[in-house]
Amino acid sequence: MRTRLGKWSLLLPAAALLALPGISSAQLTQQDLAQKLTAESHVANMTGHAKSAAADYRRYCVGCHGELGDGNGENAVWLDPKPRNFQLGVFKCRSTPTGTLPTDSDLFDSIGRGFDRSNMPIWNTLTKQQRVDLVAWIKHFSPRWANEKSGDPITIPPEPEVTPERIKAGREVFARVQCWKCHGVAGQANGPSASTLTDDLGRPILPYNFTEGSRPKCGDTDKDIYRIFMTGLDGTPMPSFADNIKPEEAWDLVFYLRTFMAQPSKEKAMAKQLGLKPVDPNAPAGQQ
Amino acid sequence: MKTGFSRAAVLSVVVLVFCGALLLNQKVNAAGEGKISGTVKLDGTAPHMKGIDMSKDPYCSKAHATDPAHLENVVVGQGGGLENVVLYISEGLSGSALTEVPTQVAVFDQKNCVYTPHVLAMDVNQKFKVTTSDQTTHNIHPNPNPMTGNIPWNQSQPPGASPVEKSWKATEVIPVQCNIHPWMHGWFVVIKGPYATTDASGNYTINNVPPGSYTVTAWQEEYNTQTQKVTVAAGGTGSANFTFKAK
């Protein structure tokens, strides 16, 4: 007993020094994860506990996202897009700026919403409590949550009334920041750069096609669409435009994007009445 | 048992204090700083650097109408000098020489749809800014490994956009790309301590090196790394020349 204690206390400072040079990029092991089971999540007035989600994760999620949350479940080879690697802590759908961790509510919403045009189903068959627990479980996979806080959600001003002027202003924004480079002038995902896009893992990825009627991955309300281009979809080619589109212009752009969508809308009707044409990529700046 | 434990505890405190003193001691060395300089060359025939087809974006192809753009993975200058090689001290630094962060802001410009410079070296926590000189939209998308502590981000820069100012938390070689213009590919080389990047003739000088014995590492994106031992006398210049073999 005496010798054991003595040896350990001598080793401690040495171990502390060795640990200084930096975090190794090695993959997490089951042992590392076991220590993080105290992870919690908070959504509205609910609290989630990672421990409580173990059985649900094993039953519903492990097949794709894998035992270690690295996105390498046994089904992963068959899937495209690939299941999320939770260890990296990089997520598409956030209310927070690019390069920051999402909020617990963002993850909770993603689980309940599912991802259109992917193999991630809508998990609203699970109770809210189960989903909040799963959020805590997802967080226990990435060391990022131990070292960083979630980003601060971006501020979204109240949505103004749609007017033909706003739709026209949105068209100007679309032309100015050149959304068409990937999404195409009519939102058909056929811009000049569309065919060469890759995600952060180097896998081919398509821009969103507004016209085919599928739901945007991170939600289909006006607010969701606002958030998508003001936060960017991390891990994909979609950048954040927060520094280059003012909040009031952002609403104009949301209204203009609606005019592309297959679903009938006020915006679509107004655009028809205005006889709006797709933007001209070759027009000089400000002369659409 | 009690005495044994406390003896060990005292010993460990002594070890800690000693290590701390070692670290602090380095600050005294600020005076009499020297340099490390040399040349990096390529041995053999330089690989062919393909031309870049920018026809996807008329703005970009127009900018290169008379001066076609080429890939920049291996850029060889006169006498076989290799450009864009990053040199840094990988062993032997300690104290403030290791942790001091330059106040100078490193600049990474997007000009005529290529990155200038192609390789940007910087210290951990050193500020750098990404600027755009182009009349076309770029997205600046570095892709570090989040497990190192560096977090990936992706920001747009339409024409006239203000610079994006950032820094990195950990040492890493980070690829950066523009998804809109897939040929735009460069590197952020994040290191600790003094560094230098070779010029068009392959020459470099690492300034602000305290006297001592070091291992210098040269990094090149295609040929990986090489190391050499160098000794720097107070106020003197250590010399290290590197030669990478063409594949």
| Closest residue, chain A, to B183 (C-alpha) | A196
If asked whether residues A68 and A112 sit together in one domain, one would say yes
Chain A CB within 8 Å of residue B147 CB: yes
Residue A191 structure tokens: 């811009």
If asked whether residues A120 and A216 sit together in one domain, one would say no
The letter for the amino acid at B33 is E
Structural domain contains residue A213 = yes
B154 with A192: Cβ contact below 8 A: no
> Is the torsion defined by CA of B97, B101, B105, B110 positive or negative?
positive
Residues whose CB falls within 8 Å of the CB of residue A62, separated by 6 or more in sequence, listed in order:
A73
Q: Which of A5, A90, A193, A238 is most worth mutating to test chain B (most B CB atoms within 10 A of its CB)?
A: A193
Q: What is the CATH number of the domain that holds A40?
A: 1.10.760
Confidence grade of residue A15 (pLDDT, cut at 50, 70, 90): very low
Per the prediction, chain A carries an average pLDDT of 90
Residue A285: per-residue pLDDT? 74
Residue B32: per-residue pLDDT? 83
Question: Sheet holding B224-232: strands in order across?
Answer: B195-197, B86-91, B212-220, B224-232
If asked whether residues A269 and A198 sit together in one domain, one would say yes
Q: Check whether A279 has a pLDDT greater than 60.
A: yes
Residue A53 distance to chain B (closest CA, Å)? 24
Angle at A82 (CA atoms; ends A76, A88), nearest 5 degrees: 105
If asked whether residues A211 and A136 sit together in one domain, one would say no
Structural domain contains residue A15 = no
Q: Check whether A18 has a pLDDT greater than 90.
A: no
pLDDT tens string for chain B (247 positions)? 445 556 655 555 555 555 444 444 444 445 589 999 999 999 999 999 999 999 999 999 999 999 999 999 999 998 899 999 999 999 999 999 999 999 999 999 999 999 999 999 999 999 999 999 999 999 999 999 998 999 999 999 999 999 999 999 999 999 999 999 999 999 999 999 999 999 999 999 999 999 999 999 999 999 999 999 999 999 999 999 999 999 8
Comparing A8-12, A27-31, A112-116, B41-45, which segment has the lowest mean pLDDT? A8-12
| Residues of chain B contacting residue A22, judged by C-beta atoms under 8 Å apart | 148-149, 170-171
Q: Check whether A17 has a pLDDT greater than 50.
A: no
Domain count, chain A: 2
Higher pLDDT, A51 or B23: A51
* CA B39 – CA A76 distance, rounded (Å): 48
| Residues of chain A contacting residue B8, judged by C-beta atoms under 8 Å apart | 5-7, 9-10
Q: Check whether A20 has a pLDDT greater than 80.
A: no
A23 with B147: Cβ contact below 8 A: yes
What's the CATH fold of domain B2-245? Immunoglobulin-like (2.60.40)
8-state DSSP, B80: G
Chain A CB within 8 Å of residue B175 CB: no
Higher pLDDT, A11 or B183: B183
B154 with A232: Cβ contact below 8 A: yes
Structural domain contains residue A103 = yes
Q: What is the CATH number of the domain that holds A242?
A: 1.10.760.10
Three-class secondary structure assignment of chain A: CHHHHHHHHHHHHHHHHHHCCCCCCCCCCHHHHHCCCCCEEEECCEEEEHHHHHHHHHHHHHHHHCCCCCCCCCCHHHCCCCCCCHHHCCCCCCCCCCCCECCHHHHHHHHHHCCCCCCCCCCCCCCHHHHHHHHHHHHCCCCHHHHCCECCCCCCCCCCCCCHHHHHHHHHHHHHCCCHHHHCCCCCCCCCCHHHCECCCCCECCCCCHHHCCCCCCCCCHHHHHHHHHHCCCCCCCCECCCCCCHHHHHHHHHHHHCCCCCCCHHHHHHHHHCCCCCCCCCCCCCC
Confidence grade of residue A4 (pLDDT, cut at 50, 70, 90): very low
Q: For residue A229, what are the domain limits?
A: 164-274
B155 with A98: Cβ contact below 8 A: yes
* CA B234 – CA A237 distance, rounded (Å): 49
Residue A36: per-residue pLDDT? 80
| Residues of chain A contacting residue B1, judged by C-beta atoms under 8 Å apart | 1-2, 5
If asked whether residues A193 and A258 sit together in one domain, one would say yes
Q: What is the pTM of this model?
A: 0.85
If asked whether residues A38 and A143 sit together in one domain, one would say yes
A96 and A106 Cβ atoms separated by less than 8 Å = yes
Residue A168 distance to chain B (closest CA, Å)? 19
Residue A16: per-residue pLDDT? 40
* CA A178 – CA A167 distance, rounded (Å): 16
Q: Which of A 176-195 lie inside 8 A of B, CB atoms? A: 176-178, 181-182, 192-193
Chain B CB within 8 Å of residue A241 CB: yes
| Residues of chain B contacting residue A91, judged by C-beta atoms under 8 Å apart | none
A176-205: per-residue pLDDT in tens? 999 999 999 999 999 999 999 999 989 999
